[in-house]
């Protein structure tokens, strides 16, 4: 995992070296131990492999396998590491962590079922291990993952090299400039090769995007001679772009010192000489700085006293010209694993990578939002596709946009990181429509659409002379749109934008009905020869109810009509009962009885065919009356339809 950057690999040596000496058991491992101890993992693997092949003793074969696995793990080669851990377990090497680490490497290979079994076995042997518990949760989540987010991901080929390119950082004062860390070995000043990884030594580069969107050739950030005496990485800047903080690991007699945080100021358009930031004892690791936009708080990674696990995220506030006492970010963020690569946005949301919290494999990117309770955070995994089974780290955002860059080792067999762009496509619901009057009159001047939404929207949208309007909505909201024109019934529409996964156009064609026009409801059906409403009539009755609620001042007459296929007196009585049944429904729903009157019209008023009905039924002609004589001229199948249309309920506005 820790070949993420060579300078962070060096951070890990302090813990691994001490453990290695305590486990020494044979002189045959001497050279391999020395190479492992100083972090030359590539050379250690070769030596350990020779020991493994020649050694007859099962214990020492297991020991060689274990440290071979550790070397592969620390150089981010999970497949080889998992195999070597398996050998150590098979030879019964006395280190229970082999099973835990093998499970963690299998997670990075997306072999979740096997990883789950190993985590479960390990917890039966070593109860209470947080990494194993979170590993079990990770495997369970990965086997049944949440739906992926809508983020789009794309490798930025012009910024990537054959080696590790990681921790991109968008210049705060110029969105077309990017800084990033790289272990590339090309260029006149990049001849040094890192003894740990075999890549170039880590340095910070910058590149500018031209007007065509093409990234220009990257150049060294500080234009310093990279002579192998130090390595740089993971840059962060204040909002004005005048102060930059970065990680530096220096070498003394070819041995790495603890990682440090350095700062450099921009003066007259040029960077001055960098200076070390004093945060505490020299023997403690300080790395991966993330400066707040105003420069008042520095977030960083350290293993100082008080850390929860391997490497924790800490913060420190500025007091005058100096830095105060560092504070651990707490158990919501830090775990028994490693938390690294913090990034703080203008809105106060903290992003970081962790291999200790439940995730999809290696390092995953998380976001943390402050809670009201002091020192508490709500932490959330960014999910797929932002995270993968590999290492995902070093995120940076454009200002006020859900887009930016991050780095990942996904799809790279050598475990090298590459820079990716990401974006969360904007979901833009739009409501547009046309309003017309049923008598084709002109739309009155200053007609508006009132819009009220659950997102707090309460506004009026102007309607132009042609009756058209447009409105930008927001996702995850419900809107009520009310159109009101004097002399016409109010009309309302409901629009629900919840659950949208892409932009959507809502097209509304609204016809306002004049007070003088009877409103026909053809779908209020009753049982044949009865005043009992059919269940499917409820939807149409809800329309009647909505119309009355939208127009709370009108009074209406409910008239029920039948066809001529029965005795006139029977028809009158039946139609009166049907009108009364609709009346009862409306009053039960809260409509004031004083606004309603009823009339049984029997079959004395045949339906006049509207233009809408004529379009729907080809055998009907607009403005025809559906008299019995007219119906008898239709074919038998159409006669039934016409009689059913005559069986209707109408509302007429009386005041």
Q: Please check whether residues 209 and 276 belong to one and the same domain.
A: yes
The kind and range of the H/E element at 542 are helix 538-550
Q: Please check whether residues 263 and 124 belong to one and the same domain.
A: no
Distance CA 91, CA 354 (A): 31
Residue 268 sits in a domain whose CATH number is: 2.120.10.30
Averaged pLDDT, 58-72? 92
Per-residue H/E/C for 459-500: EEEECCCCCEEEEECCCCCEEEEEECCCCECCEEEEEECCCC
Q: Please check whether residues 184 and 315 belong to one and the same domain.
A: yes
Sign of CA dihedral 613, 618, 622, 623: negative
Res. 513 pLDDT band, cuts 50 70 90? confident
Structure confidence by residue, pLDDT tens digits, 388-444: 999 999 999 999 999 999 999 999 988 899 999 999 999 999 999 999 998 788 888
Distance CA 263, CA 300 (A): 13
Domain count, the chain: 4
- Please identify, among 143, 168, 185, the residue that sits at the C-terminal boundary of a domain: 143
Count, residues in the chain: 655
- Please identify, among 87, 119, 143, the residue that sits at the C-terminal boundary of a domain: 143
Q: Please check whether residues 565 and 636 belong to one and the same domain.
A: yes
- Is beta strand 429-437 parallel, antiparallel or unpaired with respect to 468-472? antiparallel
Structure token pair of residue 595: 């606004």
Q: Please check whether residues 473 and 614 belong to one and the same domain.
A: no
The residue among 359 and 520 whose pLDDT is bigger is 359
Paired strand residues for 168: none
Q: Please check whether residues 126 and 169 belong to one and the same domain.
A: no
**pLDDT value for 438:** 83
Q: Please check whether residues 233 and 275 belong to one and the same domain.
A: yes
Residue 30 sits in a domain whose CATH number is: 1.25.40.10
Domain that holds residue 507: 429-512
Distance CA 418, CA 166 (A): 6
Closest CA to 601 of 629, 627, 630, 568: 568
Res. 26 pLDDT band, cuts 50 70 90? low
Distance CA 279, CA 325 (A): 8
Closest CA to 383 of 138, 96, 632: 138
Q: Please check whether residues 436 and 525 belong to one and the same domain.
A: no
Structure confidence by residue, pLDDT tens digits, 529-543: 888 888 888 888 888
- Does this model's pTM top 0.85? My answer is no
Contact call for residues 328 and 305 (beta carbons, < 8 A): no
If you write DSSP's letter for every residue of 565-625 in order, what string do you get? SS-HHHHHHHHHHHHHHHHHHHHHTT--GGGEEEEEEETSSPPBPPHHHHHH-TT--TT-B
Give the Å distances, CA to CA, from 98 to 122, 212, 489, 601. 10, 51, 76, 89
Distance CA 395, CA 53 (A): 43
Q: Please check whether residues 255 and 272 belong to one and the same domain.
A: yes
What would you report as the CA-atom Rg of the chain, rounded to the nearest whole angstrom? 37
**pLDDT value for 238:** 96
Res. 190 pLDDT band, cuts 50 70 90? very low
Q: Please check whether residues 494 and 384 belong to one and the same domain.
A: no
- Please identify, among 512, 533, 548, the residue that sits at the C-terminal boundary of a domain: 512
Give the alpha-carbon dihedral of 256, 261, 267, 272, to 10 degrees. -20
**Maximum CA extent, the chain:** 116
Closest CA to 51 of 81, 27, 22: 27
Averaged pLDDT, 86-109? 93
Residue 462 sits in a domain whose CATH number is: 2.60.40.2070
Distance CA 370, CA 121 (A): 36
Q: Please check whether residues 193 and 320 belong to one and the same domain.
A: yes
Q: Please check whether residues 525 and 508 belong to one and the same domain.
A: no
Res. 256 pLDDT band, cuts 50 70 90? low
């Amino acid at each position: 995992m820790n070949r993420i950057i060579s300078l962070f690999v060096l951070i890990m040596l302090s813990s691994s070296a001490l453990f290695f000496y305590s486990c020494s058991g044979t002189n045959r491992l001497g050279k391999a131990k020395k190479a492992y101890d100083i972090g030359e993992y590539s050379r250690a693997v070769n030596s350990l492999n020779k020991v493994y092949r020649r050694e007859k003793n099962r214990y020492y074969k297991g020991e060689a396998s274990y440290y071979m696995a550790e070397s592969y793990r620390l150089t981010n080669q999970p497949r080889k590491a998992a195999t070597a851990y398996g050998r150590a377990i098979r030879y019964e090497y006395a280190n229970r962590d082999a099973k835990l680490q093998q499970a963690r490497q299998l997670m990075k290979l997306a072999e979740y079922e096997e990883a789950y079994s190993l985590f479960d076995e390990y917890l039966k042997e070593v109860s209470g291990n947080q990494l194993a518990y979170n590993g079990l949760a990770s495997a369970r989540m990965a086997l049944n993952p949440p739906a992926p987010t809508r983020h789009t991901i794309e490798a930025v080929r012009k910024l990537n090299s054959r080696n590790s390119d990681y921790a991109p950082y968008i210049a705060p004062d110029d969105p077309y400039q990017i800084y990033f860390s790289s272990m590339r070995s090309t260029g006149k000043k990049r001849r040094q090769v890192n003894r740990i990884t075999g890549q170039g030594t880590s340095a910070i580069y910058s590149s500018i995007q031209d007007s065509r969107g093409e990234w220009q050739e990257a150049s060294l950030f500080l234009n310093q001679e990279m002579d192998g005496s130090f390595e740089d990485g993971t840059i962060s800047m204040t909002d004005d772009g005048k102060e930059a903080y970065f990680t530096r690991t220096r070498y003394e007699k070819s041995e790495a010192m603890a990682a440090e945080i350095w700062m450099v100021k921009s003066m007259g358009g040029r960077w001055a000489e960098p200076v070390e930031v004093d945060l505490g004892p020299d023997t403690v690791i300080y790395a991966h700085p993330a400066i707040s936009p105003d420069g008042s708080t520095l977030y960083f990674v350290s293993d100082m006293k008080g850390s929860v696990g391997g490497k924790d995220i800490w913060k420190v506030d500025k007091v005058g010209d100096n830095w105060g006492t560092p504070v651990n970010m707490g158990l919501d963020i830090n775990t028994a694993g490693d938390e690294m690569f913090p990034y703080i946005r203008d809105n106060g949301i903290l992003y970081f990578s962790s291999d200790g919290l439940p995730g999809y494999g290696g390092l995953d990117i998380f976001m943390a939002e402050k809670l009201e309770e002091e020192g508490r955070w709500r932490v959330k995994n960014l999910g797929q596709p932002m995270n993968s089974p590999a290492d995902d780290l070093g995120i940076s955002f454009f200002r006020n946009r859900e887009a930016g860059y991050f780095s990942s080792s996904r799809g790279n067999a050598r475990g090298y990181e590459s820079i990716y762009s990401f974006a969360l496509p904007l979901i833009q619901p739009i409501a547009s429509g046309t309003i017309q009057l049923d008598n084709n009159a002109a739309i009155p001047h200053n007609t508006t659409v009132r819009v009220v939404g659950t997102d707090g929207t309460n506004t009026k949208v102007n309607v132009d002379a042609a009756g058209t309007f447009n409105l930008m909505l927001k996702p995850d909201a419900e809107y009520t749109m009310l159109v009101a024109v004097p002399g016409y019934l109010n009309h309302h529409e409901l629009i629900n934008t919840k659950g949208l996964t892409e932009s959507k156009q809502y097209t509304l064609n609204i016809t306002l009905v004049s007070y003088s026009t009877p409103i026909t409801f053809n779908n209020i059906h009753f049982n044949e020869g009865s005043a009992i409403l059919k269940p499917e009539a409820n939807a149409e009755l809800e329309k009647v109810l909505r119309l009355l609620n939208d127009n709370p001042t009108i009074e209406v007459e409910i008239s029920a009509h039948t066809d001529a296929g029965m005795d006139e007196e029977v028809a009158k009585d039946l139609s009166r009962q049907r009108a009364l049944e609709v009346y009862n429904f409306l009053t039960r729903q809260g409509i004031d009885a004083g606004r309603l009157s009823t009339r049984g019209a029997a079959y004395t008023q045949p339906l006049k065919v509207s233009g809408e009905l004529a379009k729907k039924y080809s055998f009907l002609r607009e403005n025809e009356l559906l008299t019995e004589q007219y119906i008898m001229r239709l074919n038998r199948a159409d006669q039934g339809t016409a009689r059913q249309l005559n069986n209707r309920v109408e509302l007429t506005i009386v005041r």
